[in-house]
Structures are given as C-alpha cells and as structure tokens.
Chain A
Amino acid sequence: MAELKKDWSLNAGAFRHFLDWLDEGVDSGGERYLEMRRRLVRYFDRRNCSLPDDLADETLNRVARKLEEKGEIVGASPAHYCYIVAKFVFLEFGRRAEHNQTSLDDNPGASRMMVGLAVPSRPDRDALAKEILFDCLDRCLGKLQPEDRELILDYYRGERRAKIERRYKLAGRFGLTMNALSIRACRLRSKLEICVSACAQRK
C-alpha cells in the first residue's frame, strides 16, 4: 500500500481529532477506532483482498486526512463515511490488482503464504500450533474476570439444541436479553482472539 497517499502522514493532533469524530461525543478511549478498524479489516478480507490490514489503515488514513482538510464531514455518520471511503479503496485495489495481474495464483508472496497456512497434510504443524494456541487460550482466559470466563466458555459450549438451551439459561442467569448476551459473548471472543493471536506470536 506504499503507493497510496504516502505524502501525508497522520500527526497526533489530526489523530486526536479523528478519534473524537469517530466517538461522536462519547469518549470510548480509542475503542471505537479499534472496532472500526476491525470491521474494515473484516470487510476487505471478505472481499478477498490480500492485505486487509493495510487497506483498512489506508481507509482510516484517508478519512482522517479528509477530516483534517475540511474540519468536519457532514452528510454521513462517521461509520458510514468510513464505508464510503473503504469502497473507493477497494475499487482502487481491484483496479491495481487487475492492472498488475496480482491474484493469489500470480502473486508468489501471497501464494506462498496460502501454501504455508492452508496445506491440508500438516499433522505435525497442526499439533504444534494447536498446543500453542491452547496454552495461549488458557492464559488469556485466565486474564478475564471469572464471570466473563464462565460466560464465554458456557456460551460457546455444546451443540445445536443443547447450545441454544444453554444460552437461554445463561441469559437468565446474567439477567441479559439473548441479543445482549450474544453481543457480550462476541466482544469477549473478539478480545480473546486478539489476546491469543498476540500470545501465539510471542511464542
């Protein structure tokens, strides 16, 4: 992504302004920014872009730059505006990829990466990676509040009907609606995934 807008970089003041704008008056302590970035990464990933993190950062940089230039952005909510910019970034990426004929098959780096991660016959590596992940998960679960640990383990345990019934009971126990429970479980899982990923990289 080095080709895009490399003549401008986000300074501290612009970044702070950008965070405030994303927060829409409710100080989230940077959480809103992280959540927006996560959504953008998922969006680019679903669109099968090879560098979803870079494209998400590029999107956020462009929005922050526009905000700095204009002072304010009107006509769309911050999240919706981010999506509009993300769509442009995606289209540019698509055109560039087409122009350079970069696809997973053609891009040696990308295809190596896929080979390294997705070859089915890799029992040793699977076993090793699983042990590491398991250990990291144990540690990361240990960092959660006992109530949250109980919630996430119970929420994702079981199969089909048993799982659904358990979730109803869980919602009752925690005094939450099913929707609120699913959001809480989802947030916890997302937090755990980040923690486990960081832990596995350190090992």
Chain B
Amino acid sequence: MSSAEQQRFDDQVLIRYLLGTLPEEEAERLDGLSIADDAFAWQLSTVENDLVDGYVRGELSGENLARFKKSYLSSPKRLQKLEFAEALGSFSARTATTAAQAIPATTAPGSEPKQESSRNLPARHWFFVPRLALQWGFAGSALVLLLAASYLFLENARVRRQTTEAQGSHAAFDQREQELQRQLNDQRATNASLAKELDSLRESHPNLDQLKTVSALLLPPTRGAGQIPTVSVPHGTDLVVLQLTLETNDFPSYRVSLKDPVTNQIVWYSANLEATPGSINKTVSASFWARLLKPQNYVLELSGVAPNGRAKFLSGYPIHVQIR
C-alpha cells in the first residue's frame, strides 16, 4: 500500500473504474485503495468530480457517455452528486455572466449625446432650408413665422423627448418590478410545491436515502428550577440538531457533550464548534445521531475553548427526550 501512496494513477483508468468497465480484479484493487490510501482517495474524488462536471457540460461522448448514463446514474447518491454539479456549474456561469454584464452597463451613458444630436438634426435642418425662392414681400413675415415655428418645434421636441425618457424610465421600472414580482411568485410557488412534494415523498417513501432531522433551540439555562425543555424525537429520525443559545460569546470555539445525568456517562461529544448568529444571541449547533437517545433526561454540557486549547465549562442545558 505504501508504494501505491506514491503512485499517481492514470485518470482514464479511474474513469473506467467509476464507470464500471475495469476488470473485476483491478476494480477490487482500486476498491481497497479508495478506502485505505489517502492520495488515491483524493485523486479518485477529483476525477469523479471532473467526470460529473464533464457530463453536465456535455463534454462526454461515445462509450463514456453511454456508460455514464447507464451505470453511473443508477444510484440516488450519484444523482445527488450530479444535481450538485449542475447547481455549481450554473452558479459559476451566472457569476461570470454578472461580471460580464457590468461592462456594457458602464458604456451605455456614453451613447446618450449621440442620440441627442441625432434628435436635434431635423430642428437644425429647418434653419438651413433655403428660402431664396420666396418673394421678398413674404420674407419678413415668413421669417418671423419660421422663427416662431422653429422655437415651438424645438420646445416641442424637447418636451416630447423628456416625456419619452420619463415614460421609458417608468416602463423600465414597471418591467423590472413585474419581473421581480414574477420571480418572487415563482420562488413562492417553488417553495410551496417542493415542500408539498417532499412531504408526500416522506409519507410514501419512509426509507428515502435522506436524513430525517429534528432540531430545537435551547435557551440559556436559568438559575431557578424551571421546567426542563422537551425535545420530541419521532421514530425514524436520523439526526438531532440542538442549537444552544449562548449567554455571551467569549470564546473562539466551543465543545458540547451530551451526558446522561444518572450514570454520568458521556453519550456523545462534539469537535470544536464555532458560534453562529441566532435569533436572540449567538448559538452553538450540536448535531448527533438520534439513535443515541433514549426517552429520558440528558444534559448538554457546553464548554468554551480558549485560543490555547484549554476548555472551560460554561453551563449545562438540561433536556427531556421524548421518543414518539
């Protein structure tokens, strides 16, 4: 195994492994490396990510494309991976597009003077229409009339332009508002529809390969003998997420341990956790498997971890667990 750690595998071999086209013996060898060899495991993950991204971008073809569709996409987990790759690809593309759109937006104002001058052309043109054919008797009055007409025309054009611009702005605002409203409605419909769909999926597929989570917010424990908060955990729950509200946020990180107060046994303990903003104060989120819990009382002991790594006990958050 140690020599394998130094070896970098051919990406094409790994692609064949992922698509299930390697001979069984070779596939088994790579199975072992995928678990026991760190370097191989990371290389495999890298190649797998690129393979899925390649499919999303339409870069796969021929046998690889066929195998990918038939073999790789046959598992829900790998479908999830594909969906994530699609989202990441769209996000990158949208981010790149947004950056690109910033360029024409800055040049747009520059075009304004050009439009303005073209709008003024007919007006100027009036001044230069030759009047030599007109008789001298009409010349004076015609000139006055022309001056007045020109002034009125110019004024009219200016007002019309302002009105058009104002209408254009309003139309743009209206259009933007409508667009945002439409997006909002779509989003609401999306959320509602998805929530409904998920509910029905949960009802019809209790074994869906997804975690069922119960979460609860625990307030800082009071000094008096207050009522112990009950955390209700339905049967079949995978993960329990408890958010411990901090009284003060004095430490860079925290640790939480779940203790059985009767036996004093630690049922679970966390790695170092960072506090995140909560609705009242900052909170520390502790997540553990629901199967660790029994219907009884527990205490979540919160410790603050100083920069030098020393932990200091801060407080205990008692809970009563109800399994239903």
Contacts and interface: CB of A to CB of B under 8 A. Distances in A.
Interface of A: 11-12, 16, 29-31, 36, 39-43, 45-48, 51-53, 77, 79-80, 82-83, 86-87, 104, 109, 112-114, 116-118, 124-125, 127-134, 136-138, 141, 153, 156-157, 159-160, 179, 182-183, 185-186, 189-190, 192-193, 196-198, 201-203
A159 B57 contact: yes
Contact of B271 (A30, A77, A112, A117): A30
Contacts of A159: 57, 59
A48 B81 CA distance: 15
16 contacts: A12-B269, A29-B271, A39-B41, A79-B36, A114-B74, A118-B76, A127-B190, A130-B83, A132-B191, A133-B83, A134-B91, A153-B92, A160-B59, A186-B45, A186-B49, A198-B211
Given A128-B190, A133-B84, A193-B84, A79 B35 contact: yes
Given A80-B32, A117-B76, A156-B49, A134 B205 contact: no
A31 B271 contact: yes
B184 interface: no
Nearest to B38: A79
Contacts of B91: 134, 137-138, 141, 153
Interface on chain B toward A: helix, strand, loop, or mixed SS? helix
Interface in B1-20: 1, 8, 18, 20
B267 A12 contact: yes
Given A186-B45, A186-B46, 16 more contacts: A12-B266, A12-B268, A36-B35, A39-B35, A39-B41, A46-B31, A52-B75, A53-B209, A80-B36, A87-B31, A129-B83, A132-B191, A133-B86, A134-B87, A134-B90, A157-B96
A96 B92 CA distance: 44
The 3 closest A-B pairs by CB, nearest first: A29-B271, A133-B87, A83-B35
B32 A83 contact: yes
Interface on chain A toward B: helix, strand, loop, or mixed SS? helix
Interface string B295-319: 0000000000000000000000000
A104 B73 CA distance: 13
B87 A130 contact: yes
Interface of B: 1, 8, 18, 20, 31-32, 34-38, 41-43, 45-46, 49, 53, 57, 59, 73-81, 83-84, 86-92, 95-96, 186-187, 190-191, 193-195, 197-198, 201, 204-205, 207-211, 213, 265-272
Contacts of B209: 51, 53, 113
B84 A196 contact: yes
A156 B35 CA distance: 25
A118 B62 CA distance: 21
A77 B36 contact: yes
B82 to A, nearest CB: 10
Contacts, number: 155
Nearest to B75: A45
B190 A116 contact: no
A165 B72 CA distance: 28
Contacts of A83: 31-32, 35-36
A186 B42 contact: yes
Contacts of B270: 30
Considering residues B95, B190, B265, which has the most beta carbons from chain A within 10 angstroms of its beta carbon? B190
Nearest to A90: B31
B42 A183 contact: yes
A156 B53 contact: yes
A183 B46 CA distance: 7
Contacts of B89: 156
Contact of A40 (B35, B45, B210): B35
A42 B92 CA distance: 26
Considering residues A16, A30, A156, which has the most beta carbons from chain B within 10 angstroms of its beta carbon? A156
Contacts of A77: 1, 36
B87 A48 contact: no
Nearest to B48: A42
Nearest to B18: A46
